[in-house]
Structure 1
Amino acid sequence: MKIIQVYSTLNIYLVLFVALLTDAKLQCEEVSKSLESNEPVEYNVAKKCLKSFPYNARHATKTVDSVLHFLSNYYVFLDRAKDNPPSGFKYQPVDLKTELISLRKTTFKSDHDFSMALRNTLFKLKDGHTRVTNLCYQNFIYDQNLALYSVITTDKVGKKNQVSNDTLDPSNNDCEVTEIGGKPALKAIVDFANDKIAYSKDLGVRFNMALALSINSYSQQFNLRGDFPETSNITYNLSCSKNKSFTLERKWNITYKNGFGLFNNFCLNQNNNTIFSPNDNFASSDKETESTLATESTSNDKFEPPESSNENKKLAHAKLVVEDFYLLDDGKTKVGVAVITRERQDHDNILKDGFQKLNKRDMSNNIGGALTVPLFLTSLLLSSKQPNSFPTDIIIQNFTIPKIEENFNTSDPNVYNIYNPNFYLSFPSGKHFRNASEFIGSRKKRTSNLYINALTSNEEKILNNISSFPWTSDDIIIITNGFCASSCALLTLFFSEIHKVKTIAVGGLLDTQMSFSTFPGGEVQSPNVISLFSESYDIDMNGTVKDILEYTYKPADYRLYYDEDNAKDPSLLWLEAAKILNEKA
């Protein structure tokens, strides 16, 4: 612990702080032993440990000031977040400045309580790009070894069931869950999705993310959490048959992501003055800082919710052609299916090879990916010329202007840099910027000044050396569970809005329209680089700017629901999508 010898009272305060942290180390001794022996941690033991880290008012104030400065100067949606949600979205407006200032004046019982209050404030944005994470607290994994999925039958009353898949007791598989924690099961899931899930402005998408059907690490959030649960267990009323109805009480299985090293060697290290002690380097200034409590505009894996425990689903009606590309054939319909779910370094060649294998066939897409995917795929599939993105805008500060000027002439053209004007085109002309000043502009108005132009030379080479595919936008249909985020959202929205590709949303709430994408604003970032948030704007066929995409409700053209069969075999959903595609053709 660093002792700053300025005033004797400060010295006394810091010495007392060391003593309190030592007490936290003692309170966490059982947790450390469990983690070191690779054993789960008991709920009350974990609670005692987490609540024992001392609240440090000075550190808390500096943290809030830093977050407030960061969001006030870079978060493009700061003012818009205060408005009521557009029709179709469901979330509460939030005045971040007011709430953060109020947070700064509040005294908390522990550092954990403060961290969660700050985290929950930003969660109100329902913006998957923007959150605050403490690695010492959010690396714990709380698992019930129980997966729920939603089944909607097509009987006369449109019955809704919550059905469980129990990895501890398989005899409970496919039992109907009638109540959770004393509430009707559906209401319990909807309430959780409404209050606790922060990664979409659409409640239907959040509902899907609470369950076990999202094929990514954001799924199953009701039963697989990264934040400390409010209760030590959850009770489920199960109805398995006429003769088997009972109450299941399931405790949390608590482990720690990536082993015990970080927690034992860093979080409990009393000589560490980064996370707990007042640190003058973690200030409200425009410079790179290091802290385990970081404001994020990223999809970095270490900040995501725990990975889903779902097993790979069986595909009865789809034949693998090449990785992530399938040929769907039920004897009546032959359709190509591309499942693009994650960013890969070799993504471009995989996409090219996969679509070449599916040449001369229709397609059904379930899409997600890297920043360049919207540009590359639009050019690849529809032979479109750039610009292949929505008009975009960023906030330019005095701090970033020298970086922009430097990047204009010195940046490697093959290395993407968020403040390099060469990676943007001017809106609406679609031409390259002639100099840094033209890119910076007057700064009096932030409205759709840019097109993203992030294709690399390798991507350009691939596009120049491949023959055009035979299909048009009428031959493509997009199917997602609504969690098609960030660059995936930009891609599907661009396909839908500009190229009129039809879309299907799966799951969600019965007879309620649902988005096919989520949080198109922002950008994938790491906390050790200059910060950037961007906002993209909807445009019509004439290129006229409409509203910000992040706050524009875009429901899918068609809806499909999960049942007991397609929840386990997505190829059945692809068959339904193929029928819709062929019918509209």
Structure 2
Amino acid sequence: MLPSNKLLGLAILGLFISVKSAAAAAADADPCARIAGNKTASFQDAKACLDHFKYDKDIAQQTVDTIRKVTNELYVFNDVAASPPTVEGLAIPAVNISYGLDLILDEDWKSDREFQEAVALLLDKVQDAHLSYSPFCYRQFIFWQPIQLNALLRNKRLVANVAYVKNDVWPEAKESWVGCEVTEIDGLEAMDMIVNYAVNNNGESKDVNTCFNNIMNTKSYFHGWDDGADDLGYHRFLPAQEFHNYTMRCPKSGTLPVQDEYDEPFTVQVPWVAQVPPNFQTADSYWASFCKSAHQNDHQNITKRTIHYDLHELKTINEGEVFALNSGGVNIATNAVGNSRGPYIEFIQLTGHNEKVGVIDIQSFSIASQDRQAFTDEFIAGLENFEAKGVEKIILDLSSNGGGDACAGEFIINTFFNSTPDYASDIKYSPFLERVIEKAHKQENTKWIDYKSSGFEGSSWFTQTKEYTRGRSTVKFSQPVSLSCESWDDTVTTKKYHNTKWKSSDVLILSDGRCGSTCAIVASRLRLSHQVPAMGLGGIRGNRMQFASFPGGESDRLSSFLMDLEILGMVDDPDAPAPFPERADMGWTFREVYKPTSSFSGQETDLLEYSAINADCRIYFDDNNADDIKKLWADVAKVILAGQCPLVNDE
């Protein structure tokens, strides 16, 4: 017979084993608990957590109802998107959003994630980066490919190059791979695979070169937004497959890549690795932290007169404070569902033979209201400093600038070239939006009072409509309007600066195409109205590229629109879109902008969003400049000093 102390020990051991078994069983039942607290997780473990949440038809219906209401009533390109014009140089698929939503609702999805991603992908296919749906529940993990690629021009050939490796998420990744050429991905010629992915999986732009640039990753040259939607090596959503096979060839020891002397090719199976967000312990706490909306049970009866929005949650979403992780130093703001917080601008005078060239690196136009004065002061001081130091040529670097405040862009144009008329624009009419705008004018509140049209008082610019053909439909629009910058001017006291130093030919726009929204309109106005030449950066060799993307006009987001409705006391309007039943946001273009014409006609072919405006010249990353932006600017300086990027007349 065993002593009592040994019996007690066995009993404790048995209890420990049973507890441990129970914990293991609980982890099996709760895949989110299995990875909670970890730094990283495998693709399969992250997928199990994200797919743990079951498809709910009521949530799906409420989500689709809101998106349908916004796109039908408020999205200015809804009709033309369903039947777009053919524009040489642009890839514009036809997307009937309402029909697509019907098809999505007809599916019996295996998980809520699959449904939510299908909705996001549908809007992405319109290729208007202003139009987006972001389900924050499924944007908390960051998925990394340990091999990060850029595209370099090497010996007159565009190659996929290993820019850097992420051995912090996958220790098997070797630093020696940096600089190696990737020749095949999943058995396909690497560049063909990358171009195909850009064309079919990136909704950044209607220009495939911009899409191509958007999915590549140059470590030292990135100011842009963290949309995380479809980068080749970085996602905020679950990738389509667990592994990719990379075939690489690396330079022989002691040689440089440009010498084209390689060791034997080899193939590596590279996994997607998930970076796990903090602040959850179980599936239930994951849902509570990242997914559950304060509005989930509201708006069951839209005619109810006691409806109010949770303004704290809307503000949290609107300000981008919804991500548990950032991407390791990259701004987490997004183009349509987030905000930039600076830095905004930098003035750099180049050195050596290029000392007559200055760079104005404008990283964002999303100027916080409290920063407006500093922004304008800094811009004028920078120009004065350039002038004093004898700078004769200016590179205006607008690469990876996601836009922002249109009045900041207006300030830049006017400072360089004096006051110029804004481009004609208009807003799609709906009876619901008419009520919003009339209420805004009565209360003298919200952004809807910031528009004006010559000869029209109050809200009559919106109510006295015009009709134009969009796709296969006749659509009502407001009168042509311009944006008032009175609120900007009220907060800024800036001394006048009159540019007599630099002509249009002394300035060169540099853009990788990821110059979007306000940035796109600023770049287009500089190019079309002031004849400032534009240099495209990167893209697909042999394919003419645009220097701007998603220039549709002006966008709104559901979070900010609902806050406007709360301010105006219109949350109980029967046509008001309901908040999403899960924590999510969507963005859309509500004001379309036309390129300059001799006579305004309202034709869809005159819209900036559906126009191809090509860069005048081109430069590519190479082995010398890809990781040193000052070397890139020095290469651009040689072009501008030699006068080798003249304005091209495409008419």
For normalisation by structure 2, the TM-score amounts to 0.73
1:351 pairs, out of 379, 391, 396, with: 379
Q: CA deviation at 1:411?
A: 3.3
For 1:320-331, list aligned pairs within 5 A. Answer: 324-331=346-353
Q: Indicate yes or no: 2:447 matched with 1:418.
A: yes
2:423 pairs, out of 363, 375, 390, with: 390
Aligned equivalent of 2:459: 436
Aligned equivalent of 2:470: none
Aligned equivalent of 2:408: 373
Q: Deviations over 1:434-492 (max 9, x none)?
A: 32224432365427611122253547854554344522222211001110011100100
Aligned equivalent of 1:319: none
Aligned equivalent of 1:43: 43
Partner SS for 2:274: strand
Q: Deviations over 1:11-47 (max 9, x none)?
A: xxxxxxxxxxxxxx96674434534x24212221222
Q: Deviations over 1:296-348 (max 9, x none)?
A: x989585899647789xxxxxxxxxx961100123255211011112232233
Q: CA deviation at 1:196?
A: 1.8
Aligned equivalent of 1:571: 630
Q: CA deviation at 1:153?
A: 2.7
Name which of structure 1's ranges 245-254 and 482-491 shifts more when overlaid on structure 2. 245-254
In 1: Cα distance, 2:291 partner to 2:266 partner: 51
Aligned equivalent of 1:525: 556
In 2: Cα distance, 1:558 partner to 1:270 partner: 45
In 1: Cα distance, 2:162 partner to 2:415 partner: 41
Aligned equivalent of 1:93: 94
Aligned equivalent of 1:490: 521
Aligned equivalent of 2:512: 481
Question: Contact conserved, 2:280 with 2:286, CA < 8 A, in 1?
Answer: no
Partner SS for 1:538: coil
Q: Indicate yes or no: 2:582 matched with 1:583.
A: no
Q: CA deviation at 1:111?
A: 1.1
Question: Contact conserved, 1:150 with 1:562, CA < 8 A, in 2?
Answer: yes
Q: Deviations over 1:348-406 (max 9, x none)?
A: 33323323322353211122342222211111111224x3x211111243333344334
Aligned equivalent of 1:22: none
In 2: Cα distance, 1:144 partner to 1:276 partner: 35
Partner SS for 2:447: coil
In 2: Cα distance, 1:418 partner to 1:61 partner: 30
2:202 pairs, out of 184, 197, 200, with: 197
Aligned equivalent of 2:181: 176
Distance 1:348 1:282, change over 3 A: farther
2:615 pairs, out of 556, 565, 568, with: 556
Distance 1:262 1:509, change over 3 A: farther
In 2: Cα distance, 1:539 partner to 1:61 partner: 42
Q: How many residues align?
A: 534
Aligned equivalent of 1:227: 237
Name which of structure 1's ranges 57-66 and 119-128 shifts more when overlaid on structure 2. 57-66
Q: Deviations over 1:215-264 (max 9, x none)?
A: 32358811111110122222211100333532222222212457548976
What do you get for the CA RMSD once the two structures are aligned?
3.7
Question: Contact conserved, 2:32 with 2:49, CA < 8 A, in 1?
Answer: yes
Distance 1:454 1:96, change over 3 A: same
Question: Contact conserved, 1:91 with 1:124, CA < 8 A, in 2?
Answer: no
In 1: Cα distance, 2:245 partner to 2:106 partner: 37
Name which of structure 1's ranges 245-254 and 494-503 shifts more when overlaid on structure 2. 245-254
Q: CA deviation at 1:292?
A: 13
Question: Contact conserved, 1:151 with 1:562, CA < 8 A, in 2?
Answer: yes
Q: Indicate yes or no: 2:121 matched with 1:137.
A: no
Distance 1:149 1:273, change over 3 A: closer
1:246 pairs, out of 266, 272, 276, with: 266
Aligned equivalent of 1:255: 275
Greater gyration radius = 2
Partner SS for 2:353: coil
Q: Deviations over 1:405-454 (max 9, x none)?
A: 34336537xxxx4311xx2332xx5x7x5322244323654276111222
Distance 1:271 1:198, change over 3 A: closer
Q: CA deviation at 1:568?
A: 1.1
Question: Contact conserved, 1:76 with 1:395, CA < 8 A, in 2?
Answer: yes
In 1: Cα distance, 2:362 partner to 2:93 partner: 32
Partner SS for 2:40: coil
In 1: Cα distance, 2:347 partner to 2:29 partner: 48
Q: CA deviation at 1:142?
A: 0.2
For normalisation by structure 1, the TM-score amounts to 0.81
Letter in 1 for 2:270: R
Letter in 1 for 2:128: D
Distance 1:463 1:469, change over 3 A: farther
In 1: Cα distance, 2:487 partner to 2:633 partner: 32
In 2: Cα distance, 1:33 partner to 1:529 partner: 37
User: Unmatched 5+ residue regions in structure 1?
Assistant: 1-24, 312-321
Aligned equivalent of 1:336: 358
Name which of structure 1's ranges 490-499 and 218-227 shifts more when overlaid on structure 2. 218-227
User: Unmatched 5+ residue regions in structure 2?
Assistant: 1-25, 168-173, 252-261, 332-343, 468-475, 563-588, 647-651
In 1: Cα distance, 2:440 partner to 2:296 partner: 37
In 2: Cα distance, 1:469 partner to 1:300 partner: 41
Q: Indicate yes or no: 2:223 matched with 1:215.
A: yes
Q: Deviations over 1:262-303 (max 9, x none)?
A: 9763515899576877962689x9x98679999xx9895858
Question: Contact conserved, 1:348 with 1:459, CA < 8 A, in 2?
Answer: no
For 1:255-274, list aligned pairs within 5 A. Answer: 255-256=275-276, 259-260=279-280, 265=285, 267-268=287-288
Letter in 2 for 1:339: D
Letter in 2 for 1:334: K
Partner SS for 1:523: strand
Aligned equivalent of 2:80: 80
In 2: Cα distance, 1:118 partner to 1:291 partner: 25
Q: Percent identity?
A: 23
Letter in 2 for 1:499: H
In 1: Cα distance, 2:379 partner to 2:190 partner: 41
Q: CA deviation at 1:535?
A: 0.7
Aligned equivalent of 1:162: 161
Aligned equivalent of 1:507: 538
Q: Deviations over 1:55-87 (max 9, x none)?
A: 112221222122112100011111111235421
Question: Contact conserved, 1:266 with 1:272, CA < 8 A, in 2?
Answer: no
Name which of structure 1's ranges 261-270 and 41-50 shifts more when overlaid on structure 2. 261-270
Aligned equivalent of 1:149: 150
2:300 pairs, out of 259, 262, 280, with: 280
Q: Indicate yes or no: 2:127 matched with 1:105.
A: no
In 2: Cα distance, 1:153 partner to 1:109 partner: 46
